[in-house]
Amino acid sequence: QGAPSVTCHSPACPSPTGGGRRSRPMRAPVREFFDSEGFPLVGDTCSFDLCGERDFLPFKCRHCGRSYCLKHAEPSSHECPKFDPVAA
């Protein structure tokens, strides 16, 4: 099984020999990943169990850290387990 096969086409990705294009290490390189047909993998699937919509501009919940579509972006709409409405 293992991880799916993806190809990085970004200049920020290190080469297989270990020497990337940059001489100093980067904290979080921007990488562009493509599926097996060459289409870019963008966006994310809504994490709400009853939704699963693919959203190209997902919202990340600041409480639980999961990605949601616009309809489930608010903590109350996706029943966020880490959201405390009293503390908010």
Q: Is the pLDDT of residue 74 over 70?
A: yes
pLDDT of residue 60: 94
For residue 85, name the pLDDT band (cuts at 50, 70, 90).
confident
38: left (phi over 0), alpha (psi -120 to 50) or beta: left
- Residue bearing the bigger pLDDT, 52 or 40: 52
Backbone angles phi, psi at 72, to 5 degrees: -115, 20
Query: Looking at the whole model, is its pTM more than 0.75?
Result: no
- For residues 6-31, average pLDDT: 52
- Taking only the tens place, the pLDDT of each residue in 24-48 is 454 545 456 677 787 777 788 999 9
CA distance 78 to 47: 8
Q: Are 9 and 21 in contact (CB under 8 A)?
A: no
Q: Are 67 and 47 in contact (CB under 8 A)?
A: yes
